[in-house]
């Protein structure tokens, strides 16, 4: 399974808005990594998922940050998300339905690209 990383702004631990082309360039292929591992430079790793709406999901247990990349190109970062919510999302048969019911409107978020 391929994985990708969203590259945050240098030194802040937070993502920055990218144009569509630069956002694609910021999503880097990473082999042999786990979704909750921070890559060199603090990039949050994403795991591709099977979903009609969601392309990939990244999570940092240490920072309690959930990132969701959609097929439409948008990437959203949710803060203060417990690990069990990430685990349940990854196990959910419908990622979009899970996000709508248990994440959206419950956690502070910001759009980081797209």
Q: Is residue 23 part of a domain?
A: no
SS3 content of the chain, % helix, strand, coil (to 5): 20, 30, 45
Structure tokens at 20: 């569509």
pLDDT at residue number 44: 80
Q: Is residue 33 part of a domain?
A: no
Q: What is the pLDDT of residues 1-19, one digit of tens each?
A: 333 444 333 333 444 343 4
pLDDT less than 50: residues of the chain:
1-42
For 107, the domain range is 46-112
Number of Cβ atoms within 10 Å of the Cβ of 103? 20
Euclidean distance between CA atoms 59 and 38, whole angstroms? 9
DSSP 65: E
Q: What's the domain count of the chain?
A: 1
Say what the pTM is: 0.65
pLDDT at residue number 13: 42
Euclidean distance between CA atoms 84 and 87, whole angstroms? 5
């Amino acid at each position: 399974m391929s994985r990708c990383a969203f590259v945050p702004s240098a030194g802040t631990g937070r993502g920055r808005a990218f144009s569509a082309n630069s956002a694609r360039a910021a999503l880097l292929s990473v082999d042999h990594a786990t979704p909750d591992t921070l890559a060199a430079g603090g990039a949050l790793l994403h795991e591709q998922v099977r979903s009609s709406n969601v392309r990939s999901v990244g999570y940092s247990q240490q920072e309690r940050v959930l990132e969701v990349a959609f097929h439409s190109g948008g990437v959203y970062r949710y803060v203060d998300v417990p690990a069990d919510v990430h685990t349940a999302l990854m196990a959910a048969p419908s990622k979009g339905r899970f996000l709508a019911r248990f994440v959206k409107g419950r956690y502070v978020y910001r759009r980081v690209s797209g």
